[in-house]
Chains A and B, each alone.
Chain A
């Protein structure tokens, strides 16, 4: 039955209207009754007159409704006009601001990079807190308050429900007696219950997921690992067909490929293996698609064995756990860098990241959101700087000499470069272009250097040229991580790792320092590994290529293990690698998952409480937006994981194909 908004009053024009009159009963009782306003007309002319009179009434009613209708539209259009005017004003202000920013940029360009201050100011834009929209979502759109006036009039003509609520004091169950007669909020409660149950179910699923390794935890991840393995096999076969050495690649690729080293690795192979093109593409996709997974899974397996000594790894892991939370589970310092890099790519990728930030701020799911990443980054720098800075620096010196021998590539200190490239990562394209040069240096570098070559090779490939590109890139595209990127460029020219560290500190101390420290730490770790592994020159290059290729398959922890095993057989370092590699992946997964679970648990609990308490406590004042937000957050988080895995797999398939 359609609800009529406006009813033109006399529906039956030719009928004598009924009028409520007071009637006196035979017993003398007075009551109201509807009686015909007039006597039924007895001749045709009277009937005509009656009909015409009713028509006039109809017309008046119609005109009244028309006036009401136009009034509504005028009010609505007026509000839109006001909004448009205010919006126009905001746009004008914004354009002025943007113009000022543009002028600043031009000034910066004119100053030829000397205007770091200006750049910083520009980058400050990217350093502020996550954007949180202040727009309010309409709630209770269909309610008594929003009922249109004409319908409200109709509604008010309805009889009131019997005053059953007056009997509430006599009810034992404490229920509202009126609700048994009529319950306006019934359907909303039904919907709310459904929503809350859905969110709880999702919550449970999520909680279960964290317990399992990341790859397994996600429903779709199961599929992904298989796909990844397939892709790896395909790549291996392709590589074999091309006559390349696959074994080393497989080892390194598994975890690290995704993050920082993909491109560099591909290039770093030094053998000049062309295989990378596929891997590069995959890397690029990876960086975009699955920053988190890659970070968690990849870091442990690839880098730990090579770069980090056990002590470093332990310290790093602790720091990471604190800083990164779910993702940071990986023990190595590299993971942080990788995470940053991965996060950067996400930020860089067009605008989605900002929105994610928005969501993250607004919604519970943050674990994956950029906000969390940003926070972790900011926090990490300070902590990491203290711990990592020193360790990394001592180690770094060794790499420099090799770099010098290496020629152009060597000049950029491996450690610093590695750090920068990792950061730079987000702009994979530039790296892809750059990669070829770095490999030669890696090859040239001696055993001790080799390690550097591994780290530095990756870093090197991005090397000086990359740094420049990266810096430019960063200015334009990077948000939070750009600052770190900026400082690195200077270091690259300096060749000295220490240099990069000091410069960053001055401007925006915390953020810049962190990136630098991370880079330094990574380089330092790399150097340390190099020292430890020293003799194993050949290994590093393979590692890089492997890292690149594996980067694509990142999803499952399992493949890395296999790869590790293979790598052990092939590589001279097998001992360290075997011990570290197998452990790190497991540790990483477990830790990352634990962290994830802890974080999620902390974050989810309040949500769950809200969801449970709100409906029960305030049935009437329920926040539709909050419910939807909660649910949306869950869905987003799930979709992110699922989409990531799916997209990765797809990309891989495409690349492999």
Chain B
């Protein structure tokens, strides 16, 4: 009995160790996912800001070009 009980406890211990190992892996996967999400969000926000500024600049430049170039749009 003792030997069998010892084997069972050994299995349970091993299982708990495996579970801990799995838990570490899953938690790290979650951290990776969190990081990816936050990274994606920050990058997207910054890229969108850049895009916004670029769009604004493009419009301004377009207007300025239209104002400076006379031949094409001249009456």
Which residues of A pack against B, CB within 8 Å? 8, 13, 43-45, 47-48, 51-52, 55, 58-59, 62, 65-66, 69, 73, 76-77, 80, 83-84, 87, 90-91, 93-94, 97-98, 101, 121, 124-125, 127-129, 131, 133-135, 354, 358, 378
A125 is contacted by which of B57, B59, B67 (Cβ under 8 Å)? B67
Neighbour of A94 across the interface among B12, B14, B51, B68, CB < 8 A = B68
Chain B 1-45 interface 0/1 with A at a Cβ cutoff of 8 Å (1 = within): 000000000011011001100100110010011001001100110
Interface string of B43-68 (1 = CB under 8 A from A): 11001001100110111011111111
Please determine whether A48 and B15 come into contact, CB atoms closer than 8 angstroms: yes
Q: Which 3 A-B pairs have the closest CB atoms?
A: A48-B18, A128-B73, A44-B15
Cβ contact within 8 Å between A125 and B40: no
Partner of A127, one of B44, B51, B74: B74
Known: A44-B14, A52-B22, A133-B62. A83 touches B54 (CB 8 A): yes
Of B59, B62, B63, B74, the residue contacting A124 (CB under 8 A) is B74
CA distance A59 to B59 in the complex (A): 44
Q: Given the known A-B contacts A83-B54, A128-B73, are A73 and B68 also in contact in the complex, defined by CB atoms under 8 Å?
A: no
> When the two chains form their complex, are residues B73 and A45 in contact, meaning their CB atoms are under 8 A apart?
no
Total interface residues in chain B, CB < 8 Å: 38
Kindly identify which residue among B18, B32, B40, B55 contacts A73, using a CB–CB cutoff of 8 Å. B40
Contact of B22 among A55, A80, A378 (CB under 8 A): A55
Q: Which residues of A contact B65 (CB under 8 A)?
A: 90, 93-94
Q: Which residues of B contact A378 (CB under 8 A)?
A: 75
For the complex, what is the distance from the CA of A44 to the CA of B54, rounded to whole Å? 58
CB distance from B30 to the nearest CB of A (A): 9
- The answer to whether B29 touches A97 (Cβ under 8 A) is no
Residues of chain B with a CB closer than 8 A to A354's CB: 63, 67
Q: Which residue of B lies closest to A134 (CB)?
A: B62
- With A58-B29, A128-B74, A128-B75 known as contacts, the answer to whether A135 contacts B68 (CB < 8 A) is no
CA of A40 to CA of B70 in the docked complex: distance in angstroms? Answer: 79
CA distance A48 to B32 in the complex (A): 22
Evaluate contact between A77 and B47: CB separation under 8 angstroms: yes
Residues of B within 8 A of A77 (CB): 47
**Is A91 in contact with B66, judged by CB distance below 8 angstroms?**
no
17 A–B contact pairs at CB < 8 A?
A8-B33, A43-B11, A45-B15, A45-B18, A51-B22, A52-B22, A52-B25, A62-B33, A62-B36, A76-B44, A76-B51, A80-B54, A87-B58, A94-B61, A94-B68, A129-B74, A378-B75
Find out whether the CB atom of A131 lies under 8 angstroms from the CB atom of B26.
no
Contact indicator A44/B12 (Cβ below 8 Å): yes
Whether the Cβ atoms of B67 and A131 lie closer than 8 Å is: yes
Q: Which residue of B lies closest to A58 (CB)?
A: B29
Question: Is A65 a contact of B63 with CB atoms below 8 Å?
Answer: no
Known: A44-B12, A62-B33. A128 touches B61 (CB 8 A): no
Distance to closest chain B CB from A64 (angstroms): 11
Residues of chain A within 8 A of B75, CB atoms compared: 127-129, 378
- CB of B22 within 8 A of CB of A101, answer no
User: Smallest CB-CB separation from B36: which chain A residue?
Assistant: A66
Q: Tell me which of A59, A80, A133 contacts B29 (CB under 8 A).
A: A59
Chain B residue numbers with a CB within 8 Å of A55 are: 22, 25-26, 29
Check B14–A45 contact: CB distance below 8 A. Answer: yes
Complex CA distance for A134 and B19, rounded to whole angstroms: 62
Report whether A125 and B43 are in contact in the complex, using a CB–CB cutoff of 8 Å: no
Contacts of B47 in A (CB 8 A): 73, 76-77, 80
Residues of A contacting B66 in the complex (Cβ-Cβ under 8 angstroms):
128, 131
A644 to B: closest C-beta gap in Å: 24
Quote the shortest CB–CB distance from B19 to chain A (angstroms).
Answer: 8
Given A97-B69, A124-B74: A44 and B57 interface contact (C-beta under 8 Å): no
**Which of B14, B22, B32, B67 is close to A62, meaning CB atoms less than 8 Å apart?**
B32
Chain B nearest CB, measured from A55 CB (Å): 5
Cβ contacts under 8 Å, A65 to chain B: 36
Q: How far is the CA of A98 from the CA of B61 in the complex (A)?
A: 12
**Which of chain B's residues has its CB closest to A91's CB?**
B61
Chain B min CB distance to A358 (Å): 7
A354 CA to B63 CA, complexed, in Å: 9
Is B51 within 8 A of A80, CB to CB? yes
Q: Which residue of A lies closest to B12 (CB)?
A: A44
Please measure, in the bound complex, the distance between the C-alpha atom of A84 and the C-alpha atom of B47, giving whole angstroms. 12
Quick one: closest B residue to A100, CB to CB? B68
Question: Known contacts A8-B33, A52-B22: does B62 contact A135 (CB below 8 Å)?
Answer: yes
A59-B29, A77-B47, A133-B63 given; A69·B36 CB < 8 A: yes
Q: Which residues of B contact A134 (CB under 8 A)?
A: 62
